[in-house]
Structure 1
């Protein structure tokens, strides 16, 4: 009984899990930043873009499912899968930079200058400040950095999106 219910509502399950997964993932990153004090580097910030784009698309897909627009719901799942593959690629690139397999972008140098106490120099100093280095992992859990975990999460969400997209039609 349960497999047939899931099969009948596979699109809904896929859209719900992917949208929730993206929200939890980017919410966790924001939590590590604002609560945990882990300042993201330039690449970390770029890796969040697929999530920021994907969450509204997931909501649109859920609304499309609700109103019976199956083609739009499937298209939203396809776009989510593509975004997560993009995110996976960015995570692989960033992980490679952290493991020194290849060089990172030049704007990820990590050179930080202190902000002056002279108000006349404040704007100039703010322009010279950059975030942490992209080639240094701020934290590793089970051997993976934030970028590495982004790869894992992106693969899982992309797989769920493909699963939901290729599933049966909405039950009447």
Structure 2
């Protein structure tokens, strides 16, 4: 497979993961804050792939695509750790933080508080014992490897 085709394959993989995330969202699985963090780097990898179509398989684009896929994988590992209780996540979307400390009794009883916060430390969907964040990490690192493989090819 040529360098360009490998780069386009990797970008298409990021596009497939992103479209899959949107499909889950359309099916009623609202994303949490950490889920959103995992999406942005895929967008960068997709953009790098689009530029490969226009400009050709430039090394800089390959590096950008690899970095985007790898960064999404890192966010996926972080999110998996939050889900499994290995470390604390952002206090704005986890139950383990001390997010209630700054709230008064009236704030806690108020009906005006947001009710649509999706918790980052709760697994919404899993397959084969792995959450969406875990699958994203595995697949994102695989896509980063494809980007790196493309960079190792000549022209």
Structure-2-length-normalised TM-score: 0.84
Deviation, 1:62, is: 2.1
Aligned length: 140
Answer yes or no: is the 8 Å Cα contact 1:18–1:161 preserved in 2: yes
Separation in 2 of the partners of 1:17 and 1:82? 15
Answer yes or no: is the 8 Å Cα contact 1:19–1:54 preserved in 2: yes
Answer yes or no: is the 8 Å Cα contact 1:39–1:131 preserved in 2: no
Question: 38, 60, 78: which one pairs with 1:47?
Answer: 38
Deviation, 1:129, is: 4.0
Determine if the alignment matches structure 1 residue 128 to structure 2 residue 120: no
RMSD: 1.7
Determine if the alignment matches structure 1 residue 14 to structure 2 residue 6: yes
The ranges of structure 1 where at least 4 consecutive aligned residues each deviate by more than 4 angstroms after the TM superposition are none
Is there any run of 5+ residues in structure 1 with no aligned partner, and where?
A: 1-5, 111-123
Is there any run of 5+ residues in structure 2 with no aligned partner, and where?
A: 96-110
Determine if the alignment matches structure 1 residue 59 to structure 2 residue 66: no
The answer for the alignment partner of 1:150 in structure 2 is 136
Determine if the alignment matches structure 1 residue 96 to structure 2 residue 81: yes
| Higher Cα Rg, which structure | 1
Give secondary structure in 1 for the equivalent of 2:82.
Answer: helix
- More helix per residue: 1
The answer for the alignment partner of 1:76 in structure 2 is 61
Q: CA-to-partner distance for each residue in 1:20-79, whole Å, 9 max, x for gaps?
A: 111110000000001x210111100111010122211210022111xxxx5xx2211111
Deviation, 1:131, is: 2.3
The answer for the alignment partner of 2:101 in structure 1 is none
Give secondary structure in 1 for the equivalent of 2:89.
Answer: coil
Structure-1-length-normalised TM-score: 0.76
